[in-house]
Each structure stands twice: as structure tokens, then as C-alpha cells.
Amino acid sequence: MAYKYCVAECWGKGFITHDDASKYQVSGFPGNVWQIPANNQDANLWVNKVAGSFKTKAEAQAIVDVEVTAAQAAWDALPDEQKQQPFNKQRPTAIVLE
């Protein structure tokens, strides 16, 4: 499936409604990046509703990469003792947008 991307800040209730979600999948990524199906009129209208700013896939990937790199650096900086704790064992992994 082909996708489009936008950046929008989630304000909470009403950002994605059940009506939106029953028509198309909206998937969120670090950096307030949102993925919607391409060629979907309802999804395009949703981007307008949330005052989203369309990004190319490369632009969206760059935003996500910055967030993931920062998270990885923060994890790498943890003391070894904390890295071994149950909640910290997983180093943030790279996210590749489809």
C-alpha cells in the first residue's frame, strides 16, 4: 500500500475519531509524524482537520530519524546497571517508514 505523511500535534480527544479510524488507518511515529493511506479522500480531509503539514516520505523519515537517534543516544548514556533493568533492556530501534 502507498502512504502519505504529515506532521501534526495530537491535541487529544477528537484528534482521531472512531469515524476516522473506521475509514482508514492513521499511524503515528516519533516527531508527530502521521502516516495515512495515499489516494484516500477522507484521509486527506483528516490532515486538513488536524491542521497537518504534508511531508514527503524522505522528509518524514528524517524527522523520525532525529527522534530515534536522540532516544538511542539517551539509552546509550544510561549506566550499565540501568540498562539491565527490566524496563530499560531494549535499545530504541530504527524505524523505517513504508
Which residue, 98, 4, 8, 97, is CA-closest to 42? 4
Regarding 86 and contact with another protein (CB under 8 A), the answer is yes
SS3 4: strand
Amino acid of residue 6: C
Regarding 1 and contact with another protein (CB under 8 A), the answer is no
Burial pattern 30-65, b for ≥16 Cβ within 10 A else e, equals ebebbbbbeebeebbebbeebebeebeeeebbebbb
Regarding 20 and contact with another protein (CB under 8 A), the answer is yes
Regarding 25 and contact with another protein (CB under 8 A), the answer is yes
Q: Which of 53, 56, 69, 82 is in the footprint of another protein by CB under 8 A?
A: 82
Task: State in angstroms the smallest separation of the CB of 13 from another protein.
Answer: 5
The footprint of another protein (CB under 8 A) covers 10-18, 20-22, 25-28, 30, 34, 67, 71, 74-75, 78, 82, 85-88, 90, 92-93
